[in-house]
Amino acid sequence: MPTLNRSQLTWFGYLSTTGVYGDTQGAWVDEKSPLQPQNVRSQHRAAVEATFLQSGLPAHVFRLPGIYGPGSSTLDRLRSGKAKQIDRPGHVFSRIHVDDIVQTVWASMRLPHPGSIYNVADDEPSEPSTLIQEGSKLLGISAPPPQPYNTVELSPMALSFWKECRRVNNAKIKQELGVQLIHPTYREGLRSIWEIEQQAKLE
C-alpha cells in the first residue's frame, strides 16, 4: 500500500462482489444498500473494499455478480453435461457478461470519480433455469429435466450462492459513467457467445 500511495496514481480499481450485500430475499440493492456479507469470501471482500476506500488512493470499487463469457457460460455447462435445471421459483441471480465489465472499468478510467462504488450487473435478474432453457434452445438440445432445489446435491461453493437471493440495480453505471450495456440480459449475452462459436467453426 505505501508503494501505491507514492506512485501518484490517478485511478485505482478493485473488482469486488455483490455478495457484500448478503441475502435480501430478492429485494433490490444499490450502492447505498447496507453491507451484510454472510460468507467468509464476501466478508473478506467487504474488508478489502473498506481498506482501499480509506487508503488515500483514488480508489474505485466495482461490485460484480455472476460473471459469464466465452468459454465460461451456461452453453459450456450444457455441452459438458454438468448443467442442472434447479427448480426454485422466485430465487433469482444477477449476472454480467465480461464485455460489460471491461467497458464499465474503461469508462471509469476515462471519467474517474475516486471513492465511487459501482454495481456492474445486467438489466434482468432471473432464475437460473431461464438460462438453461435459453442455452438449450441455442444449442438445439433438450434442456435437462427440472430438479427441485431440496433434492439437488450442491458443492459448498454452489450452496453458498444459493443461500442468497437479491436483485442488483445498475443505474449508477449508466447515469454516472454513460455505460450502455452490450448485453442487457442473458439472452443477448448467450446469443453473442453462440454466434462467436459458430463463426469460429467457419474459420
Which residues are 118's β-sheet partners?
62
Compute φ and ψ for 77, nearest 5 degrees: -70, -35
What pLDDT is stored for residue 134 in this prediction? 98
Residue 4 lies in a domain: no
Residue 95 lies in a domain: yes
Residue 167 lies in a domain: yes
pLDDT in tens, 46-92: 999 999 999 999 999 999 999 999 999 999 999 999 999 999 999 99
pLDDT in tens, 9-58: 999 999 999 999 999 999 999 999 999 999 999 999 999 999 999 999 99
Q: Which residue would you say has higher pLDDT here, 6 or 98?
A: 98
What is the rounded distance in angstroms from the CA atom of residue 30 to the CA atom of residue 96? 15
Count of the separate structural domains present in the chain: 1
Residue 181 lies in a domain: yes
Cell triple for residue 60?
474505485
Cell triple for residue 56?
488515500
Please check whether residue 16 is in contact with residue 48, taking contact to mean a CB–CB distance below 8 angstroms.
yes
What pLDDT is stored for residue 21 in this prediction? 98
pTM for the predicted model, two decimal places: 0.94
Cβ within 8 Å of residue 169, ≥6 positions away:
28, 29, 30, 119, 121
Residue 3 lies in a domain: no
Residue 55 lies in a domain: yes
Give me the CATH number covering residue 79: 3.40.50.720
Residue 69 structural domain: 9-202
